[in-house]
């Protein structure tokens, strides 16, 4: 049989643990996610700003979207006057670092779009992190030329 003191102690321990167990905000955050609409094409580029507000380097190992057969992080580089895309996975984001994905630089390539993207539409993206975590992002589609 439990005594009232024992039951009270158990309740205090449980409530005390619950009060301190607040969910930690995600260390990696994304802002200003957008996609350039490309009429007549089954590929598109997505851009955003990533910030690691944590104390450890985070590694993005992949990207996926239900709106594309394949998604990858690329970086545009100009070599001998020729622009070309290079894969950038895995992509490390150091503690406190902000990475801007923008035209002519880092971007997410969406290949095999399931249907054409319309301006104003919202497209879900999921950044996959080393260790199994993920970050869900919603990108708004902008009309071609509205960068």
Give residue for tokens 């993005």. Answer: 60
Confidence of residue 147 (pLDDT cuts 50, 70, 90): low
Q: Give the pLDDT confidence score for residue 40 in this predicted structure.
A: 87
Residue 68 CA to residue 55 CA, distance in Å, equals 33
Q: Give the pLDDT confidence score for residue 26 in this predicted structure.
A: 63
Closest C-alpha to 136, from 122, 125, 147, 123: 125
Residue 103 CA to residue 83 CA, distance in Å, equals 12
Q: Are 46 and 123 in contact (CB under 8 A)?
A: yes
Fold observed for domain 26-142: Immunoglobulin-like (2.60.40)
Q: Are 80 and 16 in contact (CB under 8 A)?
A: no
Tens of pLDDT, residue by residue over 99-138, are: 999 999 999 999 999 999 999 999 999 999 999 999 999 9
Closest C-alpha to 28, from 79, 108, 99: 99
Strand pairing class (91-93; 58-64): antiparallel
Tens of pLDDT, residue by residue over 14-34, are: 344 444 444 455 699 999 999
Q: Give the pLDDT confidence score for residue 16 in this predicted structure.
A: 43
Burial of 93 (C-beta count, 10 Å sphere; 0-12/13-18/19+): buried
Q: Give the pLDDT confidence score for residue 37 in this predicted structure.
A: 84
Q: Give the pLDDT confidence score for residue 12 in this predicted structure.
A: 37
Higher pLDDT, 71 or 4: 71
Tens of pLDDT, residue by residue over 39-87, are: 889 999 999 999 999 999 999 999 999 999 999 999 998 888 898 989 9
Q: Give the pLDDT confidence score for residue 145 in this predicted structure.
A: 77
């Amino acid at each position: 049989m439990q005594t009232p003191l024992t039951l009270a102690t158990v309740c205090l321990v449980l409530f005390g643990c619950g009060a301190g167990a607040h969910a930690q905000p995600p260390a990696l955050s994304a802002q200003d996610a957008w996609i350039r609409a490309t009429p007549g094409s089954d590929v598109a580029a997505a851009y955003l700003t990533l910030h690691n507000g944590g104390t450890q380097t985070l590694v993005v190992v992949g990207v996926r979207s239900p709106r594309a057969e394949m998604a990858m992080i690329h970086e545009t580089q100009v070599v001998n006057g020729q622009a070309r895309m290079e894969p950038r996975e895995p992509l490390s984001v150091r503690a406190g670092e902000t990475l801007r994905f923008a035209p002519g630089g880092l971007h997410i390539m969406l290949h095999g779009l399931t249907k054409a993207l319309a301006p104003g539409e919202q497209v879900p993206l999921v950044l996959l992190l080393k260790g199994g975590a993920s970050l869900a992002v919603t990108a708004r589609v902008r009309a071609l030329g509205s960068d």
